[in-house]
Structure 1
Amino acid sequence: MADFHSTTRFSDRVDDYIRYRPDYPPALLDWLQREQGVDAGWRVADVGAGTGISSKMFLDAGYRVTAVEPNAPMRAAAEQWLRAYDDFDAVGGRADATGLADASVDLVAVAQAFHWFDEAATRREFARILRPGGLAAIWWNSRRLTGTRFLEGYESLLQTCGTDYTSVAERYADDARMRQWFGAGFRGSASFEHSQRLDFEALRGRLMSSSYSPKAGHPQHEPMLRALRELFDSCAVDGTVSFDYDTRIFAGHLG
């Protein structure tokens, strides 16, 4: 049976994750600051921080960040990558058991990881660690499945070759479910276009950073890479393809 355990399934993909996973559009942080009143004096808990992509966004803007990440290899990668930032630390907690003190953070940020969490237990834990009036912000890059020949071909490749793709991919909540999760404290949502321009090596790394991509030695690994090469060669313009996303964010209070 496939391993669906969210805290371990990326352990052997850390290098590809660091190098090839997308960051987040600058408009996202602008929206948090402009529309939700977030500022650099706030203490951020980046829950499910992974290798630190979202933590770096806040650190570069002058925030103090604690990354909460249960996967030890990913957390170690974040600590190594972000070691130059004085206002960064990392702990080995989970979304439902962060290990952080009561009312100790101003903003709980979740980038890309919310679909792995126990929603009820996570809400209770976030409410506990947020100061009165603090904010939770949850967002993800949702890969576009249609719109270009490349995007549609990539989705077909995953459907054909992915090990447990249909079980774990694009499990993100819709607007109604996110509003329900926040309840009366819901403050707003937004969507931003985002993309990566990838040459073949970067596209291969982006594919292999996904937990449902078969690793070397699996019978689907080589067929998958051959199909990827064919797709890239048929779609590339000036040596790259556009890997397109819609970045969705939801924010609110949890008191």
Structure 2
Amino acid sequence: MSDRTQAFTGLTDDYRAFRPGYPGQTLETLRGHVREGATDAWPEPWLLLDVGAGTGISTRALRAAFGPGPRVVGVEPGHDMRDTAEAGADGADGVEYVDARAEGVPFPDSGAALVLTAQALHWFDRPAFYAESVRLLAPGGTLAVLNNNRDLAGSAFIDEHESFLEWYSPGYDRHYRTYDLVGELSAVRGLTGAEEHSLPWARALTPDEYLGMAMSSSRTAAAARKIGEDRTRAELRAIADRHFPDGRVEVPYTTQLVLARRV
């Protein structure tokens, strides 16, 4: 696909239905970091930006974590992603969505208490996004990178799932999100105090839920284009059945939260 921002076109219903949320403990850590940096000079209400918001999973999580006070805005250039997020809003979420890329967010300088990206940084021009975040953040504000990473070590199930994608999804490598985020943020002028928090956990799914989650992936979609959707579904279902004959699929995750503060 020539426009990477539209990579999830046609996948968003499964994405919204089957992708995991984020642990409450991790969101509490994020909220605490933002509040610790607060100053009287911050614009009211606080502006919380969720960049690469997708179908709004992390945007809604911000509203739940911070309560009704701040302004919460999801920034998402993918048309299907943003439409699904907006269609799923029930009015009580109190969140907004705007059409923009991570490297050019249409908000003024030094106005945001938080710039978050969840499950999306690998799609960005990272240096350009970091510079844009520094521009957006008020002094004391937080840049946060949040990922639910499948635990690649110690699970034969995950190994077979990842191997399937490496075999059939052109260019895929299971280590695509393995980079030194603390080191990268520490090197960004205008940020300080980069730190990482990790939380291992496991998600229990039915085989159908696992299949729905797998089919929400742009990489699985690439495999389906190569070998056909029916074969893709059959092979993924067989992986689940081999490892979980009792019908309870367990997906091990480590949630990674990397934080830095605007000086």
TM range, smaller chain: 0.7 to 0.9
Out of 60, 67, 77, the position equivalent to 1:56 is 60
Out of 147, 163, 166, the position equivalent to 1:159 is 166
Residues 1:223 and 2:238 are matched in the alignment: no
**How far is 1:221 from its partner?**
3.2
Deviations 1:105-141 (A, max 9, x none): 1111110111111122212211121112211111111
Task: Classify the secondary structure of the residue corresponding to 2:220.
Answer: coil
Residues 1:87 and 2:87 are matched in the alignment: no
Task: Classify the secondary structure of the residue corresponding to 1:11.
Answer: coil
- When structure 1 is superposed on structure 2, of 28-37 and 10-19 the one drifting more is 28-37
Partner residue, 1:107: 114
Instruction: Tell whether the 8 Å contact from 2:34 to 2:141 is kept in structure 1 after alignment.
Output: no
**How far is 1:160 from its partner?**
2.0
Partner residue, 1:25: 23
- When structure 1 is superposed on structure 2, of 221-230 and 44-53 the one drifting more is 221-230
Task: Classify the secondary structure of the residue corresponding to 1:165.
Answer: coil
- When structure 1 is superposed on structure 2, of 217-226 and 70-79 the one drifting more is 217-226
Instruction: Tell whether the 8 Å contact from 1:24 to 1:247 is kept in structure 2 after alignment.
Output: yes
Q: TM-score, normalised by structure 2?
A: 0.85
Partner residue, 2:139: 132
Q: Look up the equivalent residue of 1:171 and give its one-letter code.
A: R
**How far is 1:186 from its partner?**
2.6
- When structure 1 is superposed on structure 2, of 204-213 and 156-165 the one drifting more is 156-165
CA–CA distance in structure 1, aligned partners of residues 159 and 125 of structure 2: 31
CA–CA distance in structure 1, aligned partners of residues 262 and 33 of structure 2: 18
CA–CA distance in structure 2, aligned partners of residues 217 and 113 of structure 1: 23
Structure-2 change in CA distance of 1:88 and 1:124 (3 Å)? same
**How far is 1:240 from its partner?**
1.6
**How far is 1:191 from its partner?**
0.3
CA RMSD of aligned residues (A): 2.5
Q: Look up the equivalent residue of 2:20 and give its one-letter code.
A: P
Deviations 1:139-196 (A, max 9, x none): 1111122312211221222222224423x86334224543444465134210011332
Partner residue, 1:37: 35
Out of 59, 66, 82, the position equivalent to 1:75 is 82
Deviations 1:52-90 (A, max 9, x none): 010111112314311111111111111122242363111
CA–CA distance in structure 1, aligned partners of residues 178 and 2 of structure 2: 15
Q: Look up the equivalent residue of 2:198 and give its one-letter code.
A: S
Out of 33, 43, 47, the position equivalent to 2:51 is 47
The gaps in structure 2 that reach 5 residues or longer are: 39-44
Instruction: Tell whether the 8 Å contact from 2:169 to 2:226 is kept in structure 1 after alignment.
Output: no
**How far is 1:237 from its partner?**
5.6
Out of 10, 18, 25, the position equivalent to 1:12 is 10
Partner residue, 1:170: 176
CA–CA distance in structure 1, aligned partners of residues 202 and 77 of structure 2: 28
CA–CA distance in structure 2, aligned partners of residues 157 and 219 of structure 1: 11
Q: Percent of counterpart pairs with the same letter?
A: 32
Out of 243, 248, 251, the position equivalent to 1:240 is 248
Structure-2 change in CA distance of 1:245 and 1:124 (3 Å)? same
CA–CA distance in structure 2, aligned partners of residues 33 and 86 of structure 1: 18
CA–CA distance in structure 2, aligned partners of residues 217 and 72 of structure 1: 21
